């Protein structure tokens, strides 16, 4: 399978991969806001994250979410491998496409400290 090896300042943080069908994402985020929803965050925030979507199981695995700082070096090596690290989280979603989209939004909103009124 295609996988990402993610390094921070030369230290390997994880090897992430989905398998045959899905999405694998590595992101570097810089945020400069006071709040996201009701969640207070530092005035300036940098983080690296590695997540995915496994189309065969309906899971949204998460391997990494970590703060980084100015001067840090992040390297992502794209490899082909038979083995990857276990995700630290593996939320599973079910239902039709619209219900899965709602569930994914709720998960993200919770991470941001938002509350959703139904």
- Residue 117, domain member (yes or no): no
For residue 87, the enclosing domain spans: 2-93
- Residue 86, domain member (yes or no): yes
Lowest mean pLDDT segment, chosen from 61-65, 70-74, 91-95: 91-95
Query: Which residues contact residue 67 at a Cβ distance below 8 angstroms, ignoring those fewer than 6 apart?
Result: 45, 46, 47
Asked whether residue 70 carries a pLDDT value surpassing 70, the answer given is yes
The pLDDT of residue 35 is: 64
- Residue 53, domain member (yes or no): yes
- Residue 56, domain member (yes or no): yes
- Residue 114, domain member (yes or no): no
Q: Model confidence over 5-57: pLDDT tens digits?
A: 999 999 999 999 998 889 999 999 887 776 666 766 666 779 999 999 888 88
Query: Which residues contact residue 111 at a Cβ distance below 8 angstroms, ignoring those fewer than 6 apart?
Result: none
111 band by pLDDT with thresholds 50, 70 and 90: low
- Residue 58, domain member (yes or no): yes
CA gap 48, 50 in Å, rounded: 7
CA gap 114, 50 in Å, rounded: 21
The pLDDT of residue 60 is: 87
- Residue 42, domain member (yes or no): yes
- Residue ranges of E strands in the chain: 2-8, 11-17, 22-31, 35-36, 39-40, 45-54, 62-67, 74-80
- Residue 106, domain member (yes or no): no
The pLDDT of residue 76 is: 98
Domain tally, the chain = 1
Q: Model confidence over 76-94: pLDDT tens digits?
A: 999 999 999 999 987 766 6
The pLDDT of residue 6 is: 98
What does the pLDDT average to over 93-108? 70
């Amino acid at each position: 399978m295609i996988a990402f090896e993610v390094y921070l300042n030369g230290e390997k943080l994880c090897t992430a991969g989905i398998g045959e069908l899905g999405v694998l994402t590595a992101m570097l985020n810089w945020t400069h806001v006071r709040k996201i929803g009701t969640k207070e965050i530092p005035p300036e925030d940098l983080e690296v994250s590695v997540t995915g979507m496994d189309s065969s199981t309906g899971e949204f695995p998460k391997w990494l979410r970590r703060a980084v700082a100015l001067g840090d070096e992040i390297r992502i090596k794209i490899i082909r491998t038979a083995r990857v690290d276990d995700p630290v989280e593996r939320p599973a979603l079910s239902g039709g496409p619209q219900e899965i989209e709602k569930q994914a939004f709720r998960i993200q909103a919770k991470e941001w400290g938002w509350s959703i009124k139904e």
